[in-house]
Amino acid sequence: MADELGMDLFGEIDPPQRLLMGPGPVNAHPRVLRAMSADLLGQFDPEMTGYMNQVMALYRPIFGTHNRWTMLIDGTARAAIEASLVSLVVPGDRVLVVNFGRFGLLLTEILGRIGALVETVDAPWGETVPLDAIAAAIERFAPKVVATVHGDTSTTMAQPLEGLGALCRAAGALSYVDATATLGGMEIAADRWGIDVVTGGLQKCLGGPSGSAPITLSDAAAAHIFARRHVEQGIRRADITDGAGPRIGSNYFDLAMIMDYWSEKRLNHHTEATSMLYGARECARVALGEGLDARFARHAAAGRAMTAGLRAMGLRVFGDDAHRMTNVTGVYIPDGVDGERVRTAMRDQFEIEIGTAFGPLQGRIWRLGAMGYNAMKHKVFITLGALEVCLRCEGFAVSAGGGVEAAIAAWDA
C-alpha cells in the first residue's frame, strides 16, 4: 500500500546491503543481530538478572578494569555521557574539559546545561593536548572533575591518557572519559590510566547497533554519586536534604538509581532494554572471543592499510600521525573534487558509505572508518578500490590499483 507521498507503509524492512565505512555506525556483527532476536524476559526474572551480571563481568576486561560498577546505560553513547556528567557534577562545580574536537565541545555543552563552571584546555583540530598543558590547567583551575574524549572521531585523533588519572587524583578531581569511538578497537585501560568513569557505545569498534552504552565507574566515583542520592527503597524523599548538595538533575540518567537497579537490591528504575542487553552481551563475547590484543592489532592493521592506500593514491591524510586513531582516518578532499558527489557515487555505484566531516573540517575532509566487523582486509581494500574509481570519474588523476596494492602491503607490515 502506498500513501500519498508514495511511501510503502506496509512493506517489510528490507534495507540495501550497504558497507558502512564511515566514522560509525558500522555494520553489526551477524552474531549480535542474531542474539538480539532472542525471546524476551521479565526484568526481574533470574535468567535476566543473570544476564545482567554476565554483562557486568564481560565488560570489565573490555574497559581494562576491575570496577564493580560496570554496566549498561540504555540509550546511545550520548546517554552514558550525559548520565555520567549529570551524576558527577552539580551546578557551580568547576569542570575542566580537555577539548580537541566536536565531542569535547559536546562535553562543554552538556556541562553548561548542568550549570557547571567550565574551563577548557584546547588543541587545534587534528592535534591532541599535551599532558603538561592538562597538568597546568588543573593546577590553575582546581577543577572537581576533569572530562575528556579518548578518540574524537570528528578529528580522528586519540588523546593519550596515560598518567591523566594520577594527575586528577593528586588534585582531588574525579575524571571522566568518552571512549565511545575506541572501546573494543584500541586499548582502554580504565584502571591503569586511573580514570574514574569511562563510557562507550556499541556502534563503533564493538560492532553492534547504537542504543546501548557500556559504562564503568570507580569506587570513588560511585561513592561520590551515592552521596548525592535522595531516593531510598523506592520512596521519593524530595523534601529531605541530607547535606550532600543538589539532587541529581535527571531521573532517567541518575546513576545512583541505575546502580541500585544493577545491584543485588534490584530496585526498579527503568525497564532494562532486553534486546539491547542481549546485543551488548554478544558484542563483548565476540570481542573477548577474538582476544582484545588480536582485536586491537586488527584495527591497527586496518588503519595502517587505509592510510597507506590513501597516500598511495596521491591523497593527503589529515591530522597528526603520532596520535592517529587506528579505526578512522581523515583524508583531504582534493582540490577541484566535489566531496559530496564522490560520497554519492560511492553509495550509488558500490553500496559503500564513507563519512563527511563537521565544523571547521566540513567539506574539507572525508572520514573513512574500519571498525569492529568492518575492520577487515577485504572491506578496506574494496573501499579503497571504489574510492579510486569514483575519484577518477571526477577527473582526479589516480593510477589504477596503486592504492589497493599499497594497502595490501601495509596490512601485514
Q: What are 236's strand-pairing partners?
A: 231
Unique residue bearing C-alpha cell 578497537: 185
Nearer to ligand PLP, 81 or 138 (CB): 81
d(CA 262, CA 55) in angstroms, rounded, equals 10
How does 373-395 read in b/e, with b if 16+ C-beta sit within 10 Å?
A: bbbebebbbbbbbbbbebbeebe
Q: Choose the binding region for ligand PLP from 75-83, 292-300, 356-364, 381-389 (rule: CB under 6 A).
A: 75-83
Task: Kindly state the smallest distance separating residue 391's Cβ from ligand PLP, in Å.
Answer: 26
**Amino acid identity at 218:** S
By beta-carbon proximity to ligand PLP, the closer residue of 49 and 154 is: 154
Long-range contacts of 227-233 (CB under 8 A, 24+ apart): 228/87, 228/90, 228/256, 229/256, 229/257, 231/256, 231/257, 233/267
Verify binding: residue 78, ligand PLP, rule CB under 6 A.
yes
Contact 121, 150 (CB under 8 A): no
- CB 354 → ligand PLP: shortest distance, Å? 15
Whether 210 and 32 have beta carbons less than 8 Å apart is answered as no
Beta carbon of residue 172, minimum distance to ligand PLP (angstroms, whole number):
27
Q: Select 76 or 99, whichever has its Cβ closest to ligand PLP.
A: 76
Helix (H) or strand (E) run with residue 209 in it: none
- Quote the CA–CA distance of 36 and 212 in Å, as a whole number: 12
Q: Is residue 178 near ligand PLP by the rule CB under 6 A?
A: yes
Instruction: Select from 210, 212, 274, 326 the one that contacts ligand PLP (CB under 6 A).
Output: 210
Counting contacts by CB under 6 A, is residue 334 touching ligand PLP?
A: no
The mark string for 18-47 relative to ligand PLP (x by CB under 6 A, - otherwise) is ------x-----------------------
367 in a known ligand binding site: yes
> Site for ligand PLP (CB under 6 A): which residue of 181, 287, 370, 404?
181
Contact 164, 194 (CB under 8 A): yes
Distance (Å, whole) CA 140 – CA 65? 30
> Closer to ligand PLP at the Cβ: 149 or 287?
149
Measured from the CB of residue 204, what is the shortest distance to ligand PLP in angstroms? 6
Q: Is 280 in the site for ligand PLP (CB under 6 A)?
A: no
Nearest distance in Å: CB 299, ligand PLP: 14
C-alpha cell of residue 323: 596520535
Kindly state whether residue 180 participates in binding ligand PLP, applying the rule CB under 6 A.
Answer: yes
Contacts of 5 (CB under 8 A, 6+ apart): none
* Number of residues forming the site for ligand PLP (CB under 6 A): 14
- Reported residue count of the chain is 413
User: Per rule CB under 6 A, is residue 323 in the interface with ligand PLP?
Assistant: no
Using the 8-state DSSP alphabet, how is residue 7 labeled? -
Give the span between the Cα atoms of 43 and 50, in whole angstroms: 10
φ, ψ for residue 407 (rounded to 5)? -65, -40
339 near ligand PLP, judged by CB under 6 A: no
Site map (CB under 6 A) of ligand PLP, residues 101-140, x = contact:
--x-------------------------------------
For ligand PLP, which stretch binds (CB under 6 A), given 53-61, 107-115, 174-182, 259-267?
A: 174-182
What is the spatial distance between Cα 78 and Cα 100, in angstroms, rounded to a whole number? 18
Alpha-carbon dihedral 159, 165, 171, 175, rounded to 10 degrees? 70
In terms of CB distance, is 328 or 342 closer to ligand PLP?
A: 328
Closest CB to ligand PLP among 183 and 386?
183
- Please select the residue that binds ligand PLP; options are 27, 76, 84, 175, rule is CB under 6 A: 76
Q: Does 201 bind ligand PLP (CB under 6 A)?
A: yes
Which ranges of 89-172 does DSSP label H, i.e. alpha helix?
102-114, 131-141, 164-170
The yes or no reply on residue 149 touching ligand PLP (CB under 6 A) is yes
Task: By CB under 6 A, name the one of 74, 93, 152, 353 that touches ligand PLP.
Answer: 152
Provide the annotated binding site for substrate: 367
Provide the annotated binding site: 367
User: Which residues bind to ligand PLP, rule: CB under 6 A?
Assistant: 24, 76-78, 103, 149, 152-153, 178, 180-181, 201, 204, 210
